[in-house]
Structure 1
Amino acid sequence: MSPIRHAKFAIGQVVRHRIFPFRGLIFDIDPEFANTEEWWLSIPEQIRPRKDQPFYHLYAENAEMTYLAYVSEQNLLIDESDVPLRHPDIADQFIADGNGVYRLLPGSEN
């Protein structure tokens, strides 16, 4: 039996990728890898994350576009930029409180 892992980050938290230039808002968490083997193998082996850690679903954005991302805990850091996110889907589930914190809208919990 594998040990229970607790997520380091929370739903509604703004994070950035440790290697690649994007940031995003966490909207769901998998306690361990829950994507396809094909997706996992498409990541270059030298930077492929371990499967036995939390993975986060993000409303992600970079300088050019917004998109959805699936990122391992080992590749995320807290984003301390205080720059508002612009992903169009955030407003469907979250409200920004003006202090850089995003809270789930009532009724949008899983």
Structure 2
Amino acid sequence: MGTKVGCAKRVCFASRSQTSVPATGNSKRSSWFSILLWSALLLLMAGMLFFLSAELSEVFKEAIEYYNDSKQHHGIREWAAFYGSVIMAGSAWLPLYLVFKICEKKLVDAGVRSTQ
């Protein structure tokens, strides 16, 4: 019978990966189109992340220096505005980073499929 490594609920995962679909001309074309699509989206997300970090780095550097100054007293409204801006910047950064990582994974998967 063999070993049961990688098997769950009597369905062996190894048997799924061993089956192959014959490559046709359309699947090759769609895989190259998929590679181009995910590459373009990956470059777009990388550009947006770069410009977001380039624009916000100086602003947040100045804000952190301002709030770390022990000679000045900051009211609760100023702290709320600071934390609100940090949360908004993080909310803008996180989806871009997640889409970037998804595009990266899809691009690698499409590249692997095209070489098989």
Scaled by the length of structure 1, what TM-score is found?
A: 0.17
Scaled by the length of structure 2, what TM-score is found?
A: 0.17
